[in-house]
Structure 1
């Protein structure tokens, strides 16, 4: 029997496109694992997808996963048959344009093969503590990678030593 893992994800972008971050939380029994990452030039939708992909990649074995996201883009692809339609149409939209973020969609489809999964749409920026934490992780990743870093003096000590 596969282990049941609950995953929360969120992506953020400072400008769209612009610097972006993603955050994810994996919950298994009483264990919690937080992940986050940064891309220097990306879009919000790419960060939403990247959060899901990296969270699933962090799993060490096939699992039964429930992905909770505030991204209608991600949820609609699964709930409304977009993925099946894109695949059947040679990765083209109904207007015959190439599907955006095809590289990430294909990566996601590939890693989902070994898992059983569901996608759950949650309301963004509401009272969901895990979604809010993922949002904070994503924004923190952007902030840490776009703000000037503390300068070091000749001794190699940072001028912003927290201890």
Structure 2
């Protein structure tokens, strides 16, 4: 199974609502052993850090044409921790309600994330900086 590393960068880094951009780099090794990458970016008005991170992950997973081992590198500890704890699957089973009864924020994105992530073996790594950070920041300007 091919391993794909996904590196995520966003222009929003705090819990505020504003216009923001995201970028991701999908990094993999070709059959000849050479490393290759694909960069994607987008933007959303009136967004948040968590929304942009989720969108970048979803759009990246949607580009994969076969089942892969996917390592998602992000500095968004909330998205990483929620995913690793299996909360999105628990929310789906409880009809997108939290234990408190409150509705899950960004549930449409979490639904899309689950749909895409189930096609692959996924893991998260907290990553405050990476080799692709400069390239991704260029995409965001």
TM-score by length of 2: 0.84
Q: Is the 8 A contact 1:25 1:130 kept in 2?
A: yes
Higher strand share: 2
Q: Number of residues paired by the alignment? A: 135
TM-superposition CA deviations, 1:61-81 (whole Å, max 9, x none) = 221111111111211112223
TM-superposition CA deviations, 1:118-157 (whole Å, max 9, x none) = 11112x2x4x2324543x15632xxxxxxxxxxxxxxxxx
Q: 1:27 to 1:42 in 2, by over 3 A?
A: same
Q: Distance in 2 between matches of 1:137 and 1:88?
A: 40
Q: Distance in 2 between matches of 1:19 and 1:35?
A: 18
Q: Which runs of 5+ in 1 are unaligned?
A: 141-163
Q: 1:79 to 1:54 in 2, by over 3 A?
A: same
Give the number of the structure whose alpha-carbon radius of gyration is greater.
1
TM-superposition CA deviations, 1:21-65 (whole Å, max 9, x none) = 111011111101111101122111100101111111111222111
Matched with 1:93 is: 98
1:91 deviates by 1.2
Runs of 4 or more off by more than 4 Å in structure 1? none
Q: Distance in 2 between matches of 1:13 and 1:22?
A: 9
RMSD: 2.0
Q: Is the 8 A contact 1:23 1:137 kept in 2?
A: no
Matched with 1:159 is: none
Matched with 2:119 is: 114
TM-score by length of 1: 0.74
